Structure formats: C-alpha cells, structure tokens
C-alpha cells in the first residue's frame, strides 16, 4: 500500500475520534469512547434479541410512510453497518489509530424513528501505528497490519447480525456482506472528498476490500468528469432498495444503466462545482 497516514499532533484515540466527528455536521463519521450511556443497545444484544430488530424495522417503516418491513430491515442493516464502520475506518485512514471493536463493545443509540443517532465504543483498547506506552494500545507493525486488524474486527462485530437479518431483509448473507463493502467504500470516498484526500482514502478502501473472508466486494471506482471537475464514485455491488421509497435508484446502483448513471453523475458534478464556486 502506498497511502500515507496524516499524523496529527495529538495521536490519542479520543483526539482522532473528535476530528472524525467534526468532519460532518451531524457527526456521522465519529462517535464516543467510554462507558455506554443508558439506553444504548449493543450489536450482541440486537443479534441475541431479534425482536428488537423487528421493532426498529417497524419504526423505520412507519417514519418513512411505507409498509415493506423487509426493505425497512435492510435500512436498519445499512444504518448499523455505517455506525460500526465509520469511526474506526476514518480514524484509521486519517490518523493511524482506531478503536478495537466487537459485538459487545459497540453500543448504538436509537431515536424515536428507529434510526441510529449515535455510537459508543466501550472497549478502551485501540489499534495504533504510533508510539504508545499505554496498556490499551494494540500496536500494528505497519499499515497492512492495521488494515488486516480492521477487516477482522469488522467481520467479527457485524457477523452475529448477518444470519439474523438475512431472512428479515429477504436477501442472502453474501448480499448483506456486499452491502457492507459498498458502505465502507462509499463512506471513505465521501470523507476523502470532504478533507481533500480522496486518493489516500480510496487507496485505504482498496486495501481493506481485498475480497478475502466474508467481505467479497472489492472497491470499484469510476471517475466522472463534467462541469470542469472530476468526481470519483464507487459503483455498488448491491442495491440498497432506496428506490422502494424514493424517486429512483441511486446513481451508483447496479440497477442503473450507463446512461442513467451518467445523468445522475452530471447532476452530482454540477452541485459539487457550485459548492466549490461558493467557497
């Protein structure tokens, strides 16, 4: 791997998490580290008590005004994947440090609509590339070792949910893992654009999504030039089924034709160009 880690003055996990949280106004790329707040639910508990997943699916369906529980369950899966992956991936790719995760150490806070509103990582150990004498540090010899550790802990953390949600989503376990790969690649792409390090974070995604283990979906990049700028998109392996409640499939959906995809990408580039011009 050739991607570089940007080392900030403070390489503690808490500082890295704060920087990741600040990337997005809604804090989607970060989280909290410490004891789980009252009312949170761990991934392990959701897997052991699947009725909770049914309640969340019903809440999501009601909040969005549709009655397709299997689609709603798919949205719950995507939401949980994002919360589990986002902060560790961003902290690792940008700062070379990430929380150690497992099914019992990722606690999710849910809102009244069934959507997550926060995540807490309760395991105080952390993966790191930096000199760190604390007993919580799990040293990785190089970036390859860091990525391998992330890959292993992601599959271990999300693994208990997959056989439980698969029949509820009415999709195979492989398709659920493909969607997890799509989410990882997409969120790293978005963060790279936001912080001006797109190439670095795409390279990190390439290393993470190498097709090994239960993660079958490699990253698939498509640069698209229009309106004087080039945006690079990840072409999804799976459909999130947003089209069931939205106007049409997403621009990167495999259900899109090349012509439909180009139309959406032109709109995307024009919005991005306008944003850049307004700065």
Exposed e or buried b for every residue in 171-207, given b needs 16+ CB within 10 A? beeebbbbbbbbbbbbbbbbbbeebebbebbbbbbbb
> Is 149 or 240 the better-scoring residue by pLDDT?
149
- Does pLDDT of 248 surpass 90? no
Chain segment 57-94, per-residue pLDDT in tens: 999 999 887 778 899 999 999 999 999 999 999 999 99
> Which tokens in the block code for residue 183?
């989410």
Phi, psi of 33 (to 5 degrees): -125, 125
The reported pLDDT for the residue numbered 92 is 97
For the chain, give the mean pLDDT: 91
Under 8 Å between Cβ of 53 and 72: no
The whole-number average pLDDT for the span 101-111 is 98
- Does pLDDT of 7 surpass 50? no
Chain segment 172-217, per-residue pLDDT in tens: 999 999 999 999 999 999 999 899 999 999 999 999 999 988 999 9
> Which tokens in the block code for residue 169?
């989503």
Domain ranges of the chain: 13-171+182-187
- Does pLDDT of 165 surpass 50? yes
How would residue 255 be classed by pLDDT, with cut points 50, 70 and 90? confident
- Does pLDDT of 171 surpass 70? yes
Under 8 Å between Cβ of 30 and 71: no
The reported pLDDT for the residue numbered 8 is 46
> Is 114 or 239 the better-scoring residue by pLDDT?
114
Helices 173-195/162-169 angle, 10° precision: 100
| DSSP letters for 110-157 | E-TTS-EEEEEE----EEESS---STTEEE-SSHHHHHHHHHHHHHHH
């Amino acid at each position: 791997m050739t991607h570089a880690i940007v080392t900030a003055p403070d390489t503690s996990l808490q500082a890295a998490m704060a920087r990741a949280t600040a990337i997005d106004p809604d804090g989607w790329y970060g989280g909290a580290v410490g004891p789980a707040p009252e009312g949170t639910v761990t991934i392990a508990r959701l897997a052991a008590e699947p009725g909770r997943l049914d309640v969340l699916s019903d809440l999501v369906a009601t909040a969005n005004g549709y009655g397709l529980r299997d689609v709603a369950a798919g949205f719950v899966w995507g939401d949980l994947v994002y919360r589990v992956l986002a902060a560790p991936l961003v902290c690792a790719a940008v700062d070379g440090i990430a929380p150690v995760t497992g099914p019992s150490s990722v606690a999710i806070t849910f809102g009244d609509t069934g959507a997550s509103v926060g995540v807490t990582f309760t395991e105080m150990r952390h993966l790191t590339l930096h000199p760190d004498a604390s007993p919580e540090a799990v040293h990785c010899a190089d970036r390859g070792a860091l990525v391998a550790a992330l890959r292993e802990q992601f599959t271990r953390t999300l693994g208990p949910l997959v056989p439980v949600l698969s029949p509820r989503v009415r999709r195979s376990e492989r398709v659920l893992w493909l969607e997890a790969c799509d989410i990882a690649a997409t969120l790293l792409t978005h963060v790279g654009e936001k912080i001006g390090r797109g190439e670095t974070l795409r390279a990190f995604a390439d290393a993470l999504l190498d097709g090994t283990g239960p993660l079958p979906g490699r990253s698939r990049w498509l640069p698209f030039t229009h309106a004087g700028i080039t945006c690079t998109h990840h072409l999804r392996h799976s459909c999130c089924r947003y089209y069931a409640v939205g106007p049409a499939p997403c621009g990167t959906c495999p259900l899109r034709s090349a012509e439909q995809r180009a139309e959406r990408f032109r709109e995307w580039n024009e919005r991005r160009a306008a944003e850049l011009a307004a700065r």
